[in-house]
Chains A and B, each alone.
Chain A
């Protein structure tokens, strides 16, 4: 189910809020869990089984690791390790199978065919469908097992509470990746106040506005240009900038909605975006973009690999590995690997040369512009259908690709006054408007009236738009 849809806003949400608030306090997590499974199962009910299985495995592993920690008895480190391994192998096994089976198979077949070993190719009719949000809830669930193993949190006793944490519908499908440690206290005890609910509604409205008013129109431009057979240099750049805005407003809008819905249910989720296109270096960009993922990768991959504690050479290797796997997390395709490699290389370069030395000679607006362009190039790898298409798109950007006659039709769509105005508005909001966290901090009459107007506008706009799933649904 998609937040920015009539089904969610006019059917699911009223029912969910109604049921949640009329339920006795002790059954609220059960109600929330059941609602979340309905929310999740709407796309494909069968995937609920997978979610439940993954939840059960980590719940069991957490309990066993906690028991093996000792308490009054002697600790059993090997048992703890075994259960951690059980959790990791199960989670990564599921993720690996569902997300990377098709990719692995195609890559293998491509490789052996290129080597002339046709006989070694694996022919199978089996094609695996990617369950919605598996990358998100697997990471979320895994962080729990690892944190229990490390002794940072105690295992949770109630299965319903744990299932509620893993499946909570506001952030289940596309994050932010909420770690157990971040909500453990709130699962036990949290407040439901009018101020929280009102701010949640404001967050939800701003998120909806980002998605419906900005991301969706930008998507029309980006999709038209990226899916076209050729494009002029100007159209190619417009398509790329449109995609940069689309992915930002799509994803940060989703995060705002998730945070808002969480607040309405009494939960406080941490910030996931911090104006990433205002970053002054790539390192800074990764402190601001999809913070819940970048901190997850840092805490559970980069630092365990050794971080920057083993000398410069190893630091670069660790950065490269982290970003490569980060790229692969986003999608099972070589262009995502290249996307990760590109970011890894830039981060390593900044670390090697020093951010200040690289950028300090530039005035701040120019620094921001340079970083934005660097990020733009990475979005080509991210959005293109595959690596070949990405290379072709780079050629279009540089004017090196032939422009075929049908491409002359593209401006009819991408230069539509409404879409151009939306792009300009998106730029103004990106670089000029306050963040949602800041804007909703003080909710006076003017802001509430603005939010109310935005909500009505979004609902009206939804009536003219088709089903528009979020970009991150496929990751």
Chain B
């Protein structure tokens, strides 16, 4: 560090800056033009924020009130949490205004699709959410971060994830094992077995589509095997879907949707069959009465969530999504079988991987993981799944809200995307006594 001389450096720096600005060389006309251009750009930008784009589909967020807060919100927050509650509510408002300005502004909606198309096609670059791979394959960035992340059971990683200030939502219980074991024991006391079913990420099944090279083994987190060993040692059966699907993907490329985060019906059906076999091997005769299910081919459509995240120009998106051949499962009565929250000996607790081929919205009924588990096991399968309630506490809450489903279940299959192993909070309030009262907690922050 240089010592200053006796004269004041402060005055020097100020004088230097003032002299420098005074020495600006610009003609009066150029200065006028520059100022007018700048002011025009920012004021036109401001004006464009207020004008919805004509002829475009306006998102519900745009249609919503400009100020998404009311006096009722504030008084409620005050009653519930006092000053902190009001502060939280105001921060929520300010953040939503910012997000709205960034994501839904008319200017952004006009420019983004074209620029994003240019980036994707000319520079092979996605955005903060999507990574482009080979031959039109797209990958979700969030799972990518988790696939390359440090060992998720390493003490320093667990400590960091729990550290306040390190992440926006510090995890109270970053280690998945204790919570899952606790759930396993609670279920066991009810005579029910827990099976853990981690679903791999697309990057783990088709890594060569993201980075072409000879992949001899699936890129799984180094702590995945430790997780399996600890859960198995604690009495929770684990089905190693990542390696199964990686091996299967060496000889076929139809297990995952190229422009969607999720698996295809082929990937899901392959998993369902393998899980059914695993259950038979592990538990012998499966609980419940055998049921004869039928099947019929249907066509299914995926919209391509990754294309949606890119927000490409209309010409770059298939108007009706992508068509798939799927198999719909039929019940003994010959009607489509839909695994709902009803009493059944096998229960699937799932997320969007369970939901992806079910429901009216996608044009099909009963072609999802739960239905195919039913088809392969020959047993009725019920399902509790929500794309927003993905963390352990959410799942337990789901179980407690459906006591009849829980009571009937002898096997609970806990399906979760592997990215959750290193990102979810695995805290657990416990299953509680059968039939006990339970207050429904707010859905967690996690997204599928």
Contact = CB atoms under 8 A, between A and B. Distances in A.
Interface string A102-120: 1000100000000000000
A411 B211 contact: yes
Given A404-B222, A455-B41, A463-B111, A195 B31 contact: yes
Which secondary structure characterizes the binding site on chain B? helix
20 contacts: A7-B97, A11-B46, A181-B8, A182-B10, A197-B38, A198-B35, A198-B38, A270-B14, A271-B13, A303-B4, A385-B166, A386-B156, A417-B124, A418-B119, A418-B124, A440-B24, A445-B30, A462-B108, A463-B107, A464-B115
Contacts of B98: 1, 5, 7, 42, 467
* Contact residues on B (Cβ < 8 Å of other chain), bracket: 35 or more
B207 interface: yes
Nearest to A444: B30
A227 B149 contact: yes
B144 A198 contact: no
Contacts of B222: 229, 404
B8 A152 contact: yes
A46 interface: yes
A90 interface: no
A409 B16 contact: no
Contact of A195 (B26, B38, B211, B217): B26
Given A6-B108, A182-B14, A416-B125, A406 B90 contact: no
Contact of B30 (A181, A198, A263): A198
B101 A464 contact: no
Contacts of B9: 295, 299
Interface string A17-45: 10000000000000000000000001111
Interface in B85-128: 87, 90-91, 94, 97-99, 101-102, 105, 107-108, 111-112, 115-116, 119, 123-125, 127-128
Contacts of A15: 46
A10 B107 contact: yes
Interface string B26-42: 10101111110111011
A411 B144 CA distance: 12
B150 interface: yes
A194 B210 contact: no
B111 A417 contact: no
A271 B18 CA distance: 11
B226 to A, nearest CB: 14
Nearest to B127: A464
Contact of B34 (A291, A409, A410, A443): A443
Given A11-B49, A308-B3, A6 B41 contact: no
B3 A197 contact: no
A472 interface: no
B51 interface: no
A338 interface: no
B165 A127 contact: yes
Nearest to B217: A405
> Which of A196, A202, A389, A463 has the largest count of B CB atoms less than 10 A from its CB?
A463
Interface string B54-98: 000000000000000000000000000000000100110010011
B101 A196 contact: no
B149 A229 contact: yes
Contact of B32 (A194, A302, A307, A308): A194
A1 B28 CA distance: 33
Given A271-B13, A452-B37, A418 B30 contact: no
A308 B10 CA distance: 20
B35 A201 contact: yes
B361 interface: no
A196 B24 contact: yes
A421 B30 CA distance: 33
A48 to B, nearest CB: 11
> Which of B37, B38, B87, B105 has the largest count of A CB atoms less than 10 A from its CB?
B38
> Which of B14, B20, B45, B210 has the largest count of A CB atoms less than 10 A from its CB?
B14
Given A412-B133, A417-B125, A448-B33, A294 B26 contact: no
A181 B14 contact: yes
A188 interface: no
A228 B148 contact: yes
A420 B177 CA distance: 40
Given A14-B43, A14-B46, A179 B10 contact: yes
A83 interface: no
Contact of A455 (B2, B30, B38): B38
A11 B101 contact: yes
Nearest to B159: A386
Interface string A127-138: 101100000000
Contacts of A1: 98
A46 B87 contact: yes
A409 B38 contact: no
Contacts of A455: 38, 41
Rank and list the top 6 A-B pairs by shortest CB-CB distance, nearest first: A229-B150, A198-B34, A418-B125, A10-B45, A194-B31, A406-B219
A319 B1 contact: yes
A406 B147 CA distance: 6
A57 B229 CA distance: 60
A433 interface: no
Nearest to A259: B17
A337 interface: no
Given A10-B105, A294-B1, A443-B30, A194 B119 contact: no
A50 interface: no
A228 to B, nearest CB: 4
